[in-house]
Amino acid sequence: MTALERAISNPPSVRGLESRSPVDGLQRRSVGFIDVFAQSVSAVAPSAAATTIPLIVTVTAGGATMWSLAIAMLLSLLVATTVNVFAKRIAATGSLYTFVSKGLGTGAAFVTGVALLIGYGFIAMFALAGAGYYLSILLHRFWPGMPSSTGVVSALLVCMAMVCLVVLVRGIHLSTRVTLIVESASVAIILILVGVLLSQLGPTPDWAVLGLDASPEHLAVGSVLAVTAFVGFESSSTLGVEARRPFASIPRSLVWTVVGAGLLFLVTSYSQLAGFAALGEDITATRTPINDLALASGVEWMGLLLDLSVAASFLACAIASITAFSRVVFSMGREGVLPSRLGTTHGRFRTPHVAIITALAIVTPVSVLALLLTGGAWAAMQVLIVVAAAGYITAYVLVCIAAPVFLWRIGELTLWPLLRAVVAGVLLSVALVVYLVVESTGERGVGVWVFLVTMALGITIWAIRHRRRPWLSSTVGVYDETVSADVLGGPSAEHR
Amino acid sequence: MSGAGELRARQPKAVHSALTVLEEVARCGAGVTAQEVSAGLDMPRATTYRLLNLLVQDEYLVRMPDLRGFALGRKVVELAHLVAPAPPPLAAREVIGRLRSSVRGGVHLVRYEGDRIRIADADPDFPLSDEQRIVRRLDTSAIGRLLLHELAHGGYDWSGLVQRPFRDAEPLIRDVERLGYARQVGEVTPGHGCLVVPIRDDRGGLVAGLSLSAPSERIERPAALLDLLLDGSHQLQPLLV
């Protein structure tokens, strides 16, 4: 009789396991792969990015837009596989914050946590502002007399925030399904439009668009800007508790999101650049390249669908970002880093409802404030995205440093994960510095300062709280630990 | 164990390696680290770690809270069909052999472990039809219905183990309650049925079942057949408990 047969027929008792997970209260192991995937995809908001990123990158990278996007995709893949070092081993709600705590300890974890909350929080504001902005454009098509003031956009923004609140509190199933449907519809609309444009361009490829006609500096800066189109792909790792088979579905969703979004960006960029080249016009002279192309191709009604799809994509992005934001805040509430009320869950819906309400209570007024201060939705969005991107990239750099250290700690370090993490870490650090320098001198420079001040503020608050509560060092890093019901011979789930 | 051995030899190498890793974790016990598994099996580290992570993804293994150690997951019980149960003792096989020579029909011995069924000794002349379905869907066969009655009695939530809606499965349980044994006609093989008498331990817990499969009319009016089975079960009881 082999040891496995003996273990099955007479399971040995396993000591050192609790009967409840430290993140008990959420709807454990309930969400399937497609919903997990939708979470990551929506946080990236591929259709909204696909309509804006080619333009933003082309302004900087000139003739190397496609190359910049391809490089950014490869870099994001390196980061995704490095994040997966953790996602394959730890089912958490704190995402990179929890992961870094397992590699580098409490201090670095908190820096990551602040950066990640900045990323999720500001991208949520960006998305809410975007949803309000595109909805106001859409309404304007039907009622040309409607005033397109900041007030209208703000009112629409608050309405969207209310929608998010209801969807998010009612349960993870509802919110992931809504984001899935909305995001699939908007990607489908973009693809239809791209198909129409490409069919008008004819079958011969425009080689000039695919060429590498830019200096190395421009290529580098273009790539960094293109990376910001991918940020958010790691957000499904906040569903570690709620996902079914989290160690399989979350790593897969990260990689698929980067590959899928990357391919979409490449196709849409090509069609936009080739479309403008065919028209003999300059893409950098417009703000809404796809709408212009639709108009020039005689399919103006597609522009209407496009506005709708981008507004929907922004709403999905807001829901996904607040999902991620609230799960990280929930982790911090459980640990005592933030007030413990934030770590409670709703008895019936099994969602972290206090964290969700808090997230929206911060995000909504701040985004309205940003609108009022910058004087318009478009200007506000430009600044908000800079703050968010800087937050994400900071968190990515830290997770790349933490991954090899974590593997070494648990005795599982091998060559390839180390190489991937080092390459990704070095390239991203350079990218972060380049990004902050480039943006600080540009018209969106205020975003860099908002990022730096918010980071400093967050870290200061943490330092004060840590001094008052030294025991935090031992509680930070909660995740969904294996419980006695998960092992062979443990009490069955029905009797828990 | 030759059955399991043959099966493994036919599997692709990756499955074989995965089973080897599971075996090593079972041998070393909960808390064994990836490095220890790699050293114990003399398997390259990168390969071992990849296999361990794959097994964790599929939940055959779980990581201990220190994140370094591994333990066997609940799902390992699903591998039980790869692992043939130990054959019953010689004395028990002799009792079953005598029964087989005195009745026309298949005589099988099954064991019950928690909510699981294991075919301990299947009649080689009358093989069980659709063993997977019998083992997984407790309402399809008499073997399963006997266990279903036992689970329902113990207050266990059995609704996930049956094919029928809850409403339709309950009369089956009452049938076992009334007769003291379980029966099934025409559901697995048309025109045939089977009946199973329980073998219980000294505290009354169900440990095994003695099953007879035969044409329908003989199951519906078992008469002397039932006495033969009950007699057999009484003889088997001290040998199996």
Grade residue B82 by pLDDT with cuts at 50, 70 and 90.
low
Q: Which residue in the set B4, B49, B65 is minimally distant from A412, CB to CB? A: B49
Rounded to an integer, the average pLDDT of A426-450 is 90
Rounded to an integer, the average pLDDT of A137-146 is 81
A474 contact B CB<8A: no
Strand-pairing partners, residue B183, are: B195
The CATH classification of domain A26-468, taken from the options 3.40.1010.10, 1.10.3720.10, 3.30.1330.40, 1.20.1740.10: 1.20.1740.10
- Using one digit for the tens of pLDDT, what is the confidence trace for A18-57? 888 888 888 888 889 999 999 999 899 898 888 888 888 8
B153 contact A CB<8A: no
pLDDT at A171: 81
pLDDT at B34: 95
Work out whether the CA dihedral B162, B163, B167, B171 comes out positive or negative: negative
d(CA A361, CA A251): 31
pLDDT at B1: 37
- Using one digit for the tens of pLDDT, what is the confidence trace for B184-237? 998 888 888 999 999 998 888 898 999 999 998 888 888 888 888 999 999 998
Please give the residue of chain B at the shortest CA–CA distance from A8: B77
pLDDT at A496: 35
Of A368 and A143, the structure prediction assigns the larger pLDDT to A368
- Are A487 and B58 within 8 A, CB to CB? no
Residue spans of the domains in chain A: they are: 26-468
pLDDT at B83: 59
d(CA A26, CA A244): 13
Lowest mean pLDDT across A275-284, B20-29, B103-112:
A275-284
A16 contact B CB<8A: yes
Look up the pTM and report it: 0.77
- Are A487 and B74 within 8 A, CB to CB? yes
Residue spans of the domains in chain B: they are: 2-81, 86-240
| Encoded amino acid at A301, one letter | W
> Does the pLDDT of residue A264 top 80, yes or no?
yes
User: Tokens 């478009």 — which residue?
Assistant: A378
For the CA atoms of A474, A475, A479, A484, the dihedral, rounded to the nearest 10 degrees, stands at: 80
Q: Domain B2-81 has what CATH class? A: mainly alpha
d(CA A455, CA A467): 18
Which residues are CB-contacts of A51 (< 8 A; sequence separation ≥ 6)? A190, A268, A288, A289, A290, A306, A310
> Does the pLDDT of residue A1 top 50, yes or no?
no
Using alpha carbons only, how large is chain A's radius of gyration in Å? 23
pLDDT, chain A, mean: 88
A147 contact B CB<8A: no
A204 contact B CB<8A: no
Q: Best interface-test mutation with B: which of A1, A2, A4 has the largest number of B CBs within 10 A?
A: A4
Rounded to an integer, the average pLDDT of A256-278 is 91
- Are B53 and A89 within 8 A, CB to CB? yes
| Chain A residues touching residue B115 (CB < 8 angstroms) | 492
CA A41 to chain B, closest CA, distance in angstroms equals: 22
- Using one digit for the tens of pLDDT, what is the confidence trace for A274-293? 888 888 888 887 777 887 88
Rounded to an integer, the average pLDDT of B157-166 is 81
d(CA B79, CA B55): 13
Grade residue A492 by pLDDT with cuts at 50, 70 and 90.
low
CB A404 within 8 A of CB A462: no
Q: Which residue in the set B49, B59, B76 is minimally distant from A245, CB to CB? A: B59
- Are B63 and A411 within 8 A, CB to CB? no
> Does the pLDDT of residue A212 top 80, yes or no?
no
CA A485 to chain B, closest CA, distance in angstroms equals: 8
Assigned architecture for domain B86-240: 2-Layer Sandwich (3.30)
